[in-house]
Amino acid sequence: MQNEEKICPVTTTLRVIGGRWKALILYHLFQDVKRFSELQHAIGGVSQKVLTQQLRELERDGIIHRQVFPQVPPRVEYSMTALGESLKPVVGAMGKWGMMFRNGELKMDGPYPSDAKPAQNAISIHS
């Protein structure tokens, strides 16, 4: 196993926010405190089991806070912690890149190989 000091910092970040739904969870929690059902509806396409797992991992890593209200039926709300808020520029940069890519503002540095998909090739930003 690699020494923690030798692991790429991007790998460390992906260990925390990697996963199909985590960035979307963070995106929605940056907007406001959300209940489980609100998150599930906002994200769409995620199963209850997977959303629960992703939320537990984010909570375990100190990125989000889970507040349980002692009432019947139980009410649970999720919010960002200060540590989680520090990821806002990261998720924001991902969103900006995605919008630029989708809008065609990012161009290939060379021709597409016939068997490659665009996201697998080098890109540059053209103003």
H, E, C per residue of 98-126: HHHHHCCCEEECCCCCCCCCHHHCCEEEC
Q: What is the pLDDT of residues 56-113, one digit of tens each?
A: 999 999 999 999 999 988 899 999 999 999 999 999 999 999 999 899 888 777 666 6
Q: What is the pLDDT of residues 6-58, one digit of tens each?
A: 789 989 999 999 989 999 999 999 999 999 999 999 999 999 999 999 999 99
Ordered by start, the domain boundaries in the chain are 1-83, 87-127
pTM score: 0.77
Label residue 3 by pLDDT band (50, 70, 90).
low
Classify residue 34 as exposed, middle or buried by CB count within 10 Å of its CB (0-12, 13-18, 19+).
buried
So what's the architecture of 1-83 in CATH? Answer: Orthogonal Bundle (1.10)
Residue 6: Cβ within 10 Å count: 6
Which helix or strand (DSSP H or E) is residue 55 part of?
helix 48-60
